């Protein structure tokens, strides 16, 4: 890896999802000349979905990739410098903060906004990817609406799976929860609600063996499940499969520096985006395991930029005071 001359920006935003773009837009309008490092997935998670119906401001159904293009265009319009690189190392114990790109470029920042998001975990079945956005989803809040009056399955047994099933049960005709063991690890109160719901059936000790579908239009028509105790296969007709086996926040490069919860999500001071390191902020899915929505990520990105601005302004005031007392 060749090291290029270091590049400095007052604010560096890592990530180009809704949180990252929003943070950068606000920082640019605060005249902080932000640099945004886009990462491996420019535009973030919404670039792998189709219809988005819950991002406010659009009466017509919009497409995820289109929405992210608009955010990128807006960021560029207000003067954000967008850099196509991936941060592979972060040295947050140094001042200015030091970030190293996969390109070999070193970036220096007075404030850093981490907006690296999270990724849904997938089972790894080839058809999951093939039918993604066409019958297979990892987000009931996002896609549940498309399954009104239809039959769906949810895979998983944690809080996410049970919450997704309960959410879908308001919309779908039937919800089948498929879990690989014979008990859930979800909170008891959620389990109780699920067991009492007339539209929800639970299939224990079973895994998804296959996804069946049609080509024109591309859609899911059924699944095959395998009972792990008996080896028996069962085909079921349904319209959608929701994979809810957890999410992984993209925080590996910050481990040992920024405080995290046991599951890898960045810890922030309640009601803020402040991490344990003054000058380092975390916004969006990377710090939010509960809501995980584009609009909440954008809102947290806005908060991070406003907090970074306050941090930089306070620091400048301190420097000015120190300078003045040195002269006096």
Instruction: State which of residues 77, 89, 181, 310 lies at the interface with ligand NAP (CB under 6 A).
Output: 181
180 binds ligand NAP (CB under 6 A): yes
159 binds ligand NAP (CB under 6 A): yes
CA distance linking residue 159 with residue 238, whole number of Å: 23
Instruction: Name which of ligand NAP, ligand FAD, none residue 138 binds, using a CB cut-off of 5 to 8 Å depending on partner kind.
Output: ligand FAD
Stretch in the footprint of ligand NAP (CB under 6 A) among 52-60, 102-110, 151-159, 221-229: 151-159
302 in active site: no
318 in active site: no
Least distance from ligand NAP to the Cβ atom of residue 122, Å: 9
Contact set with ligand FAD (CB under 6 A): 14-20, 37-42, 44-46, 48-49, 52, 54-55, 86-87, 115-118, 120, 138-139, 142, 250, 253, 284-286, 292-295, 297
Task: Kindly name the residue from 110, 139, 285, 288 that is annotated as catalytic.
Answer: 139
Of residues 219 and 263, the one with the C-beta less far from ligand NAP: 263
Stretch in the footprint of ligand NAP (CB under 6 A) among 54-62, 74-82, 146-154, 242-250: 242-250
139 in active site: yes
Instruction: Name which of ligand FAD, ligand NAP, none residue 181 binds, using a CB cut-off of 5 to 8 Å depending on partner kind.
Output: ligand NAP
Task: Kindly name the residue from 143, 239, 285, 288 that is annotated as catalytic.
Answer: 143
**What residues act catalytically?**
139, 142-143
């Amino acid at each position: 890896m060749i090291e290029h001359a270091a590049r400095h920006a007052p604010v560096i935003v890592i990530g180009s999802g809704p949180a990252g773009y929003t943070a950068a837009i606000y920082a640019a309008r605060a005249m902080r000349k932000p640099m945004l490092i886009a990462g491996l997935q420019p535009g973030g998670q919404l670039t792998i979905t189709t219809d988005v119906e819950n991002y406010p401001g659009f009466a017509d159904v919009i497409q995820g990739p289109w929405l992210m293009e608009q955010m990128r265009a807006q960021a560029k319009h207000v003067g954000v410098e967008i850099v196509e690189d991936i941060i592979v190392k972060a040295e947050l114990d140094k001042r200015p903060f030091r970030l190293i790109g996969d390109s070999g470029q070193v970036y220096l920042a007075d404030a850093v906004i981490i907006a690296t998001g999270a990724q849904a975990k997938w089972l790894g079945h080839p058809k999951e990817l093939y039918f993604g956005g066409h019958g297979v989803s990892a987000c009931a809040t996002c896609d549940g609406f498309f399954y009104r009056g239809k039959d769906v399955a949810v895979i998983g047994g944690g809080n996410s799976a049970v919450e997704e099933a309960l959410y879908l049960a308001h919309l779908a005709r039937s919800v089948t929860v498929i879990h690989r063991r014979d008990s859930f690890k979800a909170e008891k109160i959620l389990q109780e609600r699920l067991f009492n719901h007339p539209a929800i059936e639970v299939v224990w000790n079973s895994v998804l063996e296959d996804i069946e579908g049609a080509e024109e239009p591309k859609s899911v028509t059924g699944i095959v499940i395998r009972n792990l105790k008996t080896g028996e296969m069962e085909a079921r007709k349904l319209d959608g499969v929701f994979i809810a086996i957890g999410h992984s926040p993209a925080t590996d490069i910050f481990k040992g520096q920024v405080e995290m919860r046991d599951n890898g999500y960045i810890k922030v001071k309640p009601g803020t985006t402040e991490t344990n390191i003054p000058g380092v902020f975390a916004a969006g899915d990377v710090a939010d395991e509960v809501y995980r929505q584009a609009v909440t990520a954008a809102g947290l990105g806005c908060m991070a930029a406003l907090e970074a601005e306050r941090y930089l302004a306070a620091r400048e005031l301190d420097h000015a005071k120190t300078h003045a007392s040195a002269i006096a």
